[in-house]
């Protein structure tokens, strides 16, 4: 798999030679005024098959094009409103000519597998068709999405198409946010939310149709849903089930759903030329930036926008910064470049930006995670830059270690990415890896999440649905036995299951919270340590998934000082977050305070929402949410440790840490307030591990090892914590301020 150093070196030499060659013979086109030092050489390798307007194979498509042309003429004739324009757009989608046929198929079949290219209109149109023909009179029409951003943006779009207010007839529900009402007939939701709904409504009786969308993504939650809805349709003959997917895996879905019929929407794809780099790129973020600029100066503006696939928010922010910097340096020598980032945690106001039409004379570049692979359709993209990576969860059942790792994408995913360039016109896809690497180093298909994740949360959910025999659950792909056993063990250790694997009372209460089992255990235990209010704030902040602390490059020092102000008083990252939240709350949730303290307003507001939701759930499991013990780090961290006693590490000789049970070497993440501590704590509890350059612990706090024996006597013996007991814990670090 790996190339020898010699080979890589040789390749890099040939590359250099090529570049010099190119520089010596600049073409006389304008673009070469701006040859970059670090120009990347691409080779064109293949062109995907595509359909374009001249190819009138399908009579339907022919008809449609005729209709489109007529529509265009009409549009040209009379001025129309924004909404009329939107309606005309609906009729141009590839799914539209198949509307009647599709509805007839739904009538005849209880389960349908719906297949169509990204952008055909599956997500936005199908629920409306079902609504228009009257299914919504029998019950809601539900449609799941693997991602929050997609659920929200699609709901917004459809409410616009239907000319109704979002949250009324068309709504969405995602974890910690419910934007639906009594009036809602079309409901978009994350697949995780539907799982939660099944907990309270096991037969989905309020729905007449359920669409499991983006099924090809095979998220953990979708996979569990497949098993559950397959069962539900057996005793709900009136429930229509649609499994909707991009062009991958249709046969597999059909087979799994007892040979369900497949409804195929013929694609309207234009050919895409695929380019590879001549040699591997060491830094794909930088290579992506260079390629964006290369495209921007060498291809006419107006020939299409650019979509770049990166792996996460951090990379996207870095790339954005570099791009801004470089375009600024190039000044008026290039036309305007609009930079639009998109990733899961992006605030919704900013999401809207990616769908806006690019003004004349400018070019849009969308920097996205794999969210733009199939979930979001952005019109006008003609150039795709594929770094060949994404972030994937990986789970080692033996060590119990779950980490988010930057991983090469599969060939299928890479082809899907390339397809984004050919939606509206013939396109180009630039792969930042070699053709050899595509052939030999990429897996054919992405491994479903269920095969590479910690199952704790879903096992708890399935158990509370009364599904006790998990080994015989009808999984589309069975999770590895050791992963299942591992999560059962973990839930047992947390006290959620008894020794015959049944849900305990504690487990039932834990399942009420839409949180990882360790977090819900901490919430429940906070009652015992009389710090419910504090734990709720901390857990809400931990659930954000990204830091609330803002650190602009040019004001790093000020930002760090602001953050360290919250750290004063000890208790590590957990207490730091808590103090930040509490201080903000005491200013009556002031935005100005956030700016002064380098806190991301939107993130912390979201924490407030999450906290409110958790408070409500506390009532349901009879926890008094008002119990509070301000400024008591020990109480807070004992409650946290009650859930996270699995995640404990001990200081090693050389400043690294060893996880206590698995003896793995890990490090404090540089973003932690404890990372620069002169006297690092001997024992730590950590929130999660993230593997980037090293195995890092994210969100850490110092603990007293004697707590472990007190809190989890079934898991820790005196001997586990003995040797360091003699050395005293640095007291100052764990006391309140």
- Residues lying near Mg ion in the complex (CB under 5 A): 122-123
- Cβ atoms of 704 and 683 within 8 Å: the answer is yes
User: What is the distance between the alpha carbons of residues 658 and 284, in angstroms, rounded to a whole number?
Assistant: 32
Question: If binding means CB under 6 A, how many residues of this protein chain bind ligand CDP?
Answer: 16
Taking the CA of residue 93 as centre, how many other CA atoms within 13 Å lie in the half-sphere pointing to its CB?
23
Among residues 242 and 458, whose Cβ is nearest to Mg ion?
A: 242
Using CB under 6 A, pick the residue from 48, 136, 153, 392 that binds ligand CDP: 153
For the CB of residue 485, give the shortest distance to ligand CDP in the complex, in Å: 38
User: What is the distance between the alpha carbons of residues 141 and 143, in angstroms, rounded to a whole number?
Assistant: 7
Residue 36 touches which of ligand CDP, Mg ion, none (CB < 5 to 8 A by kind)?
A: none
Residue 192: phi, psi to the nearest 5? -65, -35
CA-closest candidate to residue 152, choices 348, 345, 321, 425: 348
User: What is the distance between the alpha carbons of residues 345 and 73, in angstroms, rounded to a whole number?
Assistant: 41
CB atoms within 10 A of CB 409: 24
Using CB under 6 A, pick the residue from 61, 93, 297, 689 that binds ligand CDP: 93
Which region among 112-120, 663-671, 693-701, 724-732 touches ligand CDP (by CB under 6 A)?
112-120
Using CB under 6 A, pick the residue from 19, 98, 118, 437 that binds ligand CDP: 118
Kindly calculate the radius of gyration of the chain based on its CA atoms and give it in whole angstroms: 27
CA-closest candidate to residue 414, choices 248, 292, 264: 248
User: What is the distance between the alpha carbons of residues 672 and 637, in angstroms, rounded to a whole number?
Assistant: 16
Binding-residue pattern over the window 477 to 506 for ligand CDP, x denoting contact by CB under 6 A:
------------------------------
Cα 6 to chain centroid, rounded? 38
C-alpha torsion 112→118→119→120, nearest 10: -30
Work out whether 120 is an interface residue with ligand CDP (CB under 6 A).
Answer: yes
Positions in 367-386 near ligand CDP (CB under 6 A): 377, 379
Work out whether 122 is an interface residue with ligand CDP (CB under 6 A).
Answer: yes
Which region among 122-130, 196-204, 486-494, 710-718 touches ligand CDP (by CB under 6 A)?
122-130
Residue 487 touches which of ligand CDP, Mg ion, none (CB < 5 to 8 A by kind)?
A: none
Work out whether 157 is an interface residue with ligand CDP (CB under 6 A).
Answer: yes
* Nearest position to Mg ion, beta carbon: 123
Residue 157 touches which of Mg ion, ligand CDP, none (CB < 5 to 8 A by kind)?
A: ligand CDP
Positions in 453-472 near ligand CDP (CB under 6 A): none
Work out whether 416 is an interface residue with ligand CDP (CB under 6 A).
Answer: no
The 3-state secondary structure of 227-262 reads: HHHHHHHHHCCCCEEEEEECCCCHHHHHHHCCCCEE
User: What is the distance between the alpha carbons of residues 98 and 687, in angstroms, rounded to a whole number?
Assistant: 49
- Cβ atoms of 461 and 432 within 8 Å: the answer is no
User: What is the distance between the alpha carbons of residues 584 and 566, in angstroms, rounded to a whole number?
Assistant: 11
Bridge partners (DSSP) listed for residue 178 = 173
Secondary structure letter of residue 451 according to DSSP:
G
Work out whether 355 is an interface residue with ligand CDP (CB under 6 A).
Answer: yes
For the CB of residue 128, give the shortest distance to ligand CDP in the complex, in Å: 10
Taking the CA of residue 639 as centre, how many other CA atoms within 13 Å lie in the half-sphere pointing to its CB?
29
Among residues 144 and 434, whose Cβ is nearest to ligand CDP?
A: 144
For the CB of residue 723, give the shortest distance to ligand CDP in the complex, in Å: 57
Among residues 11 and 177, whose Cβ is nearest to ligand CDP?
A: 177
User: What is the distance between the alpha carbons of residues 97 and 112, in angstroms, rounded to a whole number?
Assistant: 18
User: What is the distance between the alpha carbons of residues 642 and 628, in angstroms, rounded to a whole number?
Assistant: 17
Q: What's the angle, vertex CA 256, arms to CA 254 and CA 259, rounded to 5?
A: 45
Among residues 204 and 265, whose Cβ is nearest to ligand CDP?
A: 265
Work out whether 473 is an interface residue with ligand CDP (CB under 6 A).
Answer: no
Work out whether 344 is an interface residue with ligand CDP (CB under 6 A).
Answer: no
The 3-state secondary structure of 502-556 reads: CECHHHHHHHCCCCCHHHHHHHHHCCCCCCHHHHHHHHHHHCCCCCCECCCHHHH
Residue 254 touches which of ligand CDP, Mg ion, none (CB < 5 to 8 A by kind)?
A: none
Which region among 74-82, 121-129, 217-225, 361-369 touches ligand CDP (by CB under 6 A)?
121-129
Residues 6+ apart with CB under 8 A from 259: none
User: What is the distance between the alpha carbons of residues 732 and 737, in angstroms, rounded to a whole number?
Assistant: 9
Among residues 122 and 428, whose Cβ is nearest to ligand CDP?
A: 122
Which region among 77-85, 153-161, 474-482, 719-727 touches ligand CDP (by CB under 6 A)?
153-161
Residue 121 touches which of ligand CDP, Mg ion, none (CB < 5 to 8 A by kind)?
A: ligand CDP
Which region among 116-124, 226-234, 273-281, 546-554 touches ligand CDP (by CB under 6 A)?
116-124
Among residues 143 and 316, whose Cβ is nearest to ligand CDP?
A: 143
Secondary structure letter of residue 300 according to DSSP:
-
Positions in 200-259 near ligand CDP (CB under 6 A): none
Residue 154 touches which of Mg ion, ligand CDP, none (CB < 5 to 8 A by kind)?
A: ligand CDP
For the CB of residue 51, give the shortest distance to ligand CDP in the complex, in Å: 16
Work out whether 166 is an interface residue with ligand CDP (CB under 6 A).
Answer: no
Residue 387 touches which of Mg ion, ligand CDP, none (CB < 5 to 8 A by kind)?
A: none
Parallel, antiparallel or unpaired: strands 657-659 and 648-651: antiparallel
Among residues 158 and 703, whose Cβ is nearest to Mg ion?
A: 158
Secondary structure letter of residue 3 according to DSSP:
P
CB atoms within 10 A of CB 266: 17
Work out whether 32 is an interface residue with ligand CDP (CB under 6 A).
Answer: no
Chain positions contacting ligand CDP, by CB under 6 A: 93, 116, 118-125, 153-154, 157, 355, 377, 379
């Amino acid at each position: 798999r790996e190339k020898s150093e010699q080979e890589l070196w040789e390749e890099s030499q040939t590359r250099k030679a090529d570049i010099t060659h190119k520089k010596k013979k600049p073409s006389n086109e304008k673009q070469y005024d701006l040859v970059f030092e670090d120009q990347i050489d691409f080779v064109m390798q293949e062109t995907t098959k595509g359909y374009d307007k001249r190819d009138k194979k399908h009579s339907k498509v022919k008809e449609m094009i005729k209709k489109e042309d007529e529509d265009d003429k009409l549009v040209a004739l009379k001025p129309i409103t924004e909404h009329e324009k939107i309606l005309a757009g609906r009729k141009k989608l590839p799914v539209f000519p198949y509307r009647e046929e599709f509805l007839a198929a739904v009538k005849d079949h209880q389960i349908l597998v719906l297949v169509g290219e990204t952008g055909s209109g599956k997500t936005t149109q199908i629920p409306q068709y079902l609504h228009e023909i009257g299914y919504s009179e029998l019950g809601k029409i539900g449609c799941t999405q693997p991602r929050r951003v997609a659920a929200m943006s699609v709901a917004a779009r459809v409410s616009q198409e239907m000319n109704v207010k979002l949250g009324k007839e068309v709504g969405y529900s995602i974890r910690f946010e419910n934007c639906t009402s009594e009036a809602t007939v079309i409901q978009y939701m994350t697949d995780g939310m539907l799982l939660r709904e099944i907990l309270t409504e096991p037969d989905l009786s309020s729905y007449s149709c359920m669409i499991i969308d983006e099924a090809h993504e095979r998220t953990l939650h979708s996979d569990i849903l497949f098993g559950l809805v397959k069962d539900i349709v057996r005793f709900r003959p009136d429930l229509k089930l649609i499994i909707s997917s991009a062009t991958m895996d249709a046969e597999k879905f059909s087979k799994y759903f007892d040979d369900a019929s497949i409804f195929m929407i013929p694609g309207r794809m234009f050919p895409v030329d695929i380019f590879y780099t001549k040699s591997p790129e060491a830094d794909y973020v930088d290579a992506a930036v260079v390629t964006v600029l290369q495209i921007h100066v060498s291809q006419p503006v107006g020939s299409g926008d650019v979509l770049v696939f990166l792996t996460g928010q951090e990379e996207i922010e870095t790339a954005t910064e570099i791009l801004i910097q470089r375009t600024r340096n190039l000044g008026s020598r290039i036309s305007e470049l609009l930079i639009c980032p998109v990733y899961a945690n992006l605030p919704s106001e900013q999401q809207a930006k990616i769908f806006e039409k690019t003004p004349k004379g400018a070019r849009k570049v969308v920097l996205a995670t794999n969210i733009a692979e199939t979930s979001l359709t952005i019109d006008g993209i003609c150039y795709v830059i594929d770094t060949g990576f994404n972030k994937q969860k990986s789970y080692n059942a033996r060590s119990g270690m779950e980490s988010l790792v930057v991983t090469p994408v599969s060939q299928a995913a890479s082809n899907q990415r390339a397809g984004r360039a050919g939606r509206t016109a013939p396109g180009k896809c630039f792969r930042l890896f070699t053709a050899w690497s595509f052939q030999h180093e990429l897996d054919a298909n992405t491994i479903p999440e269920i095969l590479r994740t910690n199952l704790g949360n879903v096992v708890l959910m399935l158990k509370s649905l009364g599904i006790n025999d998990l080994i015989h659950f009808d999984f589309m792909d069975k999770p590895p036995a050791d992963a299942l056993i591992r999560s059962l063990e973990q839930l047992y250790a947390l006290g959620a299951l008894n020794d015959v694997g049944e849900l305990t009372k504690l487990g039932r209460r834990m399942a009420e919270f839409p949180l990882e089992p360790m977090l819900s255990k901490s919430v429940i235990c906070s009652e015992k340590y009389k710090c419910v209010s504090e734990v709720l704030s901390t857990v809400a902040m931990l659930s954000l998934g990204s830091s609330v602390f803002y650190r602009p490059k040019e004001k790093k020092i000020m930002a760090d000082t602001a953050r360290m102000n919250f750290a004063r008083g000890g208790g590590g990252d957990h207490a730091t977050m808590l103090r930040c939240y509490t201080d903000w709350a005491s200013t009556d949730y002031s935005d100005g305070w956030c700016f002064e303290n380098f806190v991301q307003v939107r993130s912390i507001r979201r924490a407030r929402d999450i906290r409110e939701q958790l408070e409500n759930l506390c009532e349901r499991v009879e926890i008094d949410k008002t119990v509070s013990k301000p400024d008591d780090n020990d109480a807070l961290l004992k409650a946290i440790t009650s859930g996270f006693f699995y995640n404990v590490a001990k200081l090693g000789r050389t400043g690294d840490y060893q996880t206590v049970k698995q003896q793995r070497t890990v490090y404090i993440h540089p973003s932690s307030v404890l990372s620069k501590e002169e006297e690092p704590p001997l024992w730590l509890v950590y929130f999660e591990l993230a593997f980037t350059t090293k195995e890092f612990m994210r969100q850490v706090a110092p603990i007293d090892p004697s707590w472990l024996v007190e809190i989890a006597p079934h898991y820790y013996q005196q001997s586990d914590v003995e040797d360091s007991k003699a050395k005293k814990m640095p007291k100052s670090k764990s006391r309140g301020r």
